[in-house]
Amino acid sequence: MVFKLFGMIGLQRCGLCLCVGYLTLFLLLRYPLQLVPVYLQPKIAEDEEPATKKSLLVSTSSEESLLVSTSTEGPLLVLVLSSLPRSGSSLMGELIATIPNSVYYFEPIYKFLQKGTWTNDQNITSDYIKSLFRCEIEKEFENWFKANPDWIKWWNIKAKRCYSMKTYHGKLKCFSNFNIKQDCEESNAIIMKVIRARMSWIEPFILDQSLNLKIIHIVRDPRASIKSIMQFNGWNKDAKYRCGHLHQDMKVYKTLQDKYSNTVIR
């Protein structure tokens, strides 16, 4: 009984923390001028004139250790990885996607689940994620993306406008005019949120010098995540299975953070 009571208190405290956290994120979304720290901002060439620089969000960070300078050119890439569903990763991805002229891949791995072809293969998943970051958009993905309003609506500002249309047919017609590859290639930042990839899979991304990548690992009290998962039919509700993923990812995160502290954050 005592342990049960403490568990209930812990969940209540967790809920309070989440409410405070979401309120903070709402305020940041409402007033985004001081939103994204400098290590998540797209890079600008040092010799660019101020008048030609792309619009950036103002940084409030003063930690020089986070001011990473790499030789990689191209857009900023941000991978938001959550060990568990219902952990706030969608909101975090949407928050980061307020970077001007950014695009946001929302759960692109879901395409495989929807088609029944998900294999949980590390190499296939890694290659797929890397190709999307490089804007190597295959026709199959583009067709699937445009046909799923609940996924493409996160893509960019234009997609949100299309999604606001009243009819489903109107949404699809609006999305059909999108050039996903062009949007991706012309963006300042490419954000991707996934919950079906493991931390142990991402070191090859970090070592790839062609990718200007930041990785954000999202962690929430697993009791709260699992309680939320219980509300959905067809979801795996096995706490041992879910917490096993979290435990594994947290161990790998510690190793990666020690080696790549300017790239992997939580």
For the entire predicted model, the pTM comes to 0.69
User: Residue 184: how many CB atoms within 10 A of its CB?
Assistant: 20
CA dist., res. 68 & res. 43, Å (int): 10
Q: Is the pLDDT of residue 7 over 70?
A: no
pLDDT, tens only, 116-138: 555 567 777 888 888 999 999 98
CA atoms within 13 A on the CB side of 78: 32
Q: Calculate what percentage of the chain has a pLDDT beyond 70.
A: 68
Mean pLDDT, to the nearest integer, of 40-64? 36
Q: Tell me how far CA of residue 121 lies from CA of 81, 125, 187, 192, in angstroms.
A: 17, 6, 29, 19
**What is the average per-residue pLDDT within 56-81?**
53
The 10s digit of each residue's pLDDT in 10-27 is 544 455 444 445 444 444
DSSP element (H, E) containing 216: strand 213-218
Instruction: Give the CB-side neighbour count of residue 199, counting CA atoms within 13 A.
Output: 26
**3-state class (DSSP) for residue 207:** helix
Per-residue pLDDT at 264 exceeds 60: yes
3-state SS, one letter per residue, for 107-146: CCCHHHHHHCCCCCCHHHHHHHHHHHHCCCCCHHHHHHHH
The C-alpha angle 194, 153, 182, rounded to 5 degrees, equals 85
Mean pLDDT across 99-127: 76
The residue type at 86: R
User: Does 72 have pLDDT greater than 80?
Assistant: no
Q: Are strands 102-106 and 189-194 parallel, antiparallel or unpaired?
A: parallel
Confidence at residue 85, expressed as pLDDT on a 0 to 100 scale = 73
Which pLDDT belongs to residue 146? 92
Question: 189: which residues sit within 8 A by CB, 6+ positions away?
Answer: 42, 75, 76, 77, 78, 96, 97, 99, 101, 102, 103
pLDDT at position 117, please? 54
CATH architecture for segment(s) 75-265: 3-Layer(aba) Sandwich (3.40)
Helical (H) or strand (E) element with 55: none
105 falls in which pLDDT band (50, 70, 90)? very high
Task: Give per-residue pLDDT as tens, 230-259.
Answer: 887 877 777 777 777 788 888 888 888 888
